[in-house]
Structure formats: C-alpha cells, structure tokens
Amino acid sequence: MTPWSIAPRGLPKLLHPLLLVLKALIQFFMLLWFLCVRVSSPDVFLVQNPPSIPTLVAVKLASSLRKSAFIVDWHNFGYTLLGLSLGRSSRFVSVYHWFEKYFGKMANGALCVTQAMQHELAQNWGIKATVLYDQPPEFFNPTSLDEKHKLFYRLDKNLCQPLGIQDCINNGIGSPHTDETLFTTQSGTAVFLKPNRPALVVSSTSWTPDENFGILLEAAVMYDRRVAAILNEDDSTSEEILWKEISDEKQCLYPRLLFIITGKGPEKEKYEEKIRRLRLKHVAFRTMWLSAEDYPLLLGSADLGVCLHTSSSGLDLPMKVVDMFGCGLPVCAVSYSCIEELVKVEKNGLLFSSSSELADELLMLFKGFPDQCDSLKLLRNGALATGSSARWATEWEEHAKPLISEVISQYTN
C-alpha cells in the first residue's frame, strides 16, 4: 500500500498532503531503525515493490550503511497504483514515479513477475530484471471428495442464506443431515457429488473500483435470461416451481449457477444491494469471508474461477489465478496486455473483455453440466497441468537463487 493510497478523513483537504508526507517520513525512520538496528546484518536486502516510498529509499540507505547488496522484486509499479486514486496527471504521481525509478535503478539486481514488465524495465527504466513467475504455495491443490463434503457442511448456513429473497439454490433452510450438503451426499464412508447440483463459480475480489464487479453481475443476468429463453419460460412461471429439483431433460442442458464471491472491500455493500434486487431464476450469489484453511479448499471444490483483476500498469499478473491453477481450477479472466503469460486460452482458461463475452463463455462451458461439458473438462485438465508443472520452490531455485548468488558474489568481491 502506498503512503498516499488512503486519504485521512475528517481533515481539511489542504492538510492531506502535509499529513501524508509526515506519514511517509515516520515510516521511513521506523524502517531504517528496524533494518539498521533490530536485525542482523544480511548479505542482501530483498525488497518487494510496491510500495516504493519510503521503502526503496530506506532499504537503499540501510544496505549502504550495512554494506549489504540490494535487490528489488518488482510486482507492479507504485506510481500506477497511486494513479488509480489521484490520476496519472497528479503532481504527487509524477514525484512518486521519479523516486521509484531513481532508487529502483540503484539496486544491485532485480526480479520481476512477467516478461512484459522485464521489457518495460529494460527499455524505459534502464533496469535489467530476471523474470520470477509467482507460483502457488504447496497447500493450494485439488480438493478430495471427503474434503469437499466437510467444507460444504461447514459452509451450509452461508450457502443456504440467500442475499435477499429466496432464490434458485435454497429457501433459507439449511440441511439438518450431516450426510448431505448442497453439492454432496454421503453413503457410509463413500462421498458422491449430486448429479443435480448447481455449478459452483468462485471469484475473489477486493471490492475496489479497479475490479469491475459489474461485469460479473451483468454476465449473470445475461446467462439467466438466455437460459430462461431456451427453456421458453415466461413471467407467469410460479416461484414455487422454480425452486423444485431440476428433472426435465431440457432444463438439464444448463445448470443453476452459484457464484461464491470471497473477499472484503469498500464496494461490497453496494454490490450486495444490487444482487438483492436482481431476482434471478437460474443464478444465485453468496458473499463470504473464508479462513486461510478453507479458501484453498473452496477453490479446489469449484467448477470455474472468474478473475476481474485489471492491472494498474498492465504488466503484472493476478495471484488469485495462480492459486486457482494450483487447485486445478480453470479460469475465465478479464483480458489485458500480459494476462496470456498466465492464462493460456482454451488450454487452462478463457479471456473476456465484456459481460456479454463472459456470458457466452458460461453458456458454452456449462452446457450439459455436470457430465457432458467437454470444454470445461478440457480446461480443468489444463489447469491441473499448469498447477502441477511448477511450484514456488522450483521457480525460486531456477531463477531467483542464481541471481541472488551472483549479486552477493559481485558485491563482496
């Protein structure tokens, strides 16, 4: 988070710049004290950017005082993040950009998260960086049937409480039986997925303006209307019938969709209110905050992930998609300049630029769910292959460790 990313409330606007500069100075001296006094002298300081101010300045000074090497791990550009709130033309953004570039060039080495960022750093910043792709932690992996059953039982109350009125998933009453959930049933020690279960779509969001959640809502409405049109439904269809268990062969062409949206953020309540007013027949939404233990299990239990991340610089990749692939979950992601370094179209996921494109993808992927959706199965196999092809330890050994060893060797000689 940048020092200027959150404006203080209850103060005159003229005092905001002064207070923010004061905040940066306090952070600078706190960092310098910690790096120079509280920790043992290291061979190298490895700092993730952003935030750039005061971090890069403090680490550069500490590395000089302690005669240590200095490496920057570029995950994005701080000035582009600041530009989201202040505008790219802001004088603060220009100053921030200068500091970030000046002190970034003073590092003894650099890592970055994409080839596109590597090119930008080389061409316009004069920085030679090694690409180190983010990889999922070891605990992000596919979820077993037994784990799915236990997870859905723990989440039963959340899943059975609609946002607003009753919807196509449940009428607000949870299952009283430990051997049955919305998605699974248990017979003895064996767990089975229900054939008439809804398709589960997961999206993780920070509920901020840089992630346009409206695209997902519009796509859900389009899916709902198109399925209704295919089923020749009209407004006179009673709500009681809509909640009945799906059995008609024609209806089985397209499943009910349950979107679980995880995360916290400033725009959450605004979109929850919009969801309450939708009155959809074939789509339902749940918002929740999951524990660090349950989040990977949910990703591994879902049928599809949706990523609404749009990079402030256009040069970084969403970690949430990396985690989804680690769990073998295929993804539909917003398209931008370098996303195809991660999402391989028609191999482990699909890209979209509008709500109508996302709706088309949902219809295509879930037609014939759960047994006859070959396109979705193909993407799942690709996601599993992507998630298992490399892990953090492997990526670090192959790319980061040689650079760090080289920088330390050059700096000490």
What are the distances in angstroms from CA 108 to CA 62, 105, 121, 131, 225?
A: 14, 8, 14, 16, 57
pTM of the model: 0.87
List % helix, strand, coil for the chain (3-state, nearest 5). 45, 15, 40
**Is the separation of the CB atoms in 186 and 231 below 8 Å?**
no
What are the distances in angstroms from CA 13 to CA 4, 7, 16, 96, 266?
A: 13, 9, 5, 20, 21
pLDDT band, very low/low/confident/very high, at 4 (cuts 50, 70, 90): very low
DSSP annotation of 286 reads: E
Q: Does residue 345 have a pLDDT over 50? A: yes
Q: Does residue 150 have a pLDDT over 60? A: yes
Closest C-alpha to 140, from 332, 397, 329, 343: 329
> What is the pLDDT, as a whole number, of residue 394?
87
Q: Does residue 2 have a pLDDT over 70? A: no
pLDDT (tens digit per residue) in 179-237? 889 999 998 889 999 999 999 999 998 887 778 889 999 999 999 999 998 887 654 44
pLDDT (tens digit per residue) in 9-56? 555 666 666 777 788 889 899 999 999 988 888 999 999 999 999 999
Rounded to 5°, the CA angle 349-352-358 comes to 90
pLDDT (tens digit per residue) in 97-140? 999 999 999 999 999 999 999 999 999 999 999 999 999 988 99
How many Cα atoms sit within 13 Å of 260 on the Cβ side? Answer: 26
pLDDT (tens digit per residue) in 161-179? 776 667 778 754 455 566 8
> What is the pLDDT, as a whole number, of residue 294?
96
Sorted by where each starts, the structural domains of the chain and their CATH numbers stand as: 13-135+392-412 (3.40.50.2000), 145-389 (3.40.50.2000)
Sign of CA dihedral 14, 16, 20, 22: positive
Beta bridge partners of 334: 352
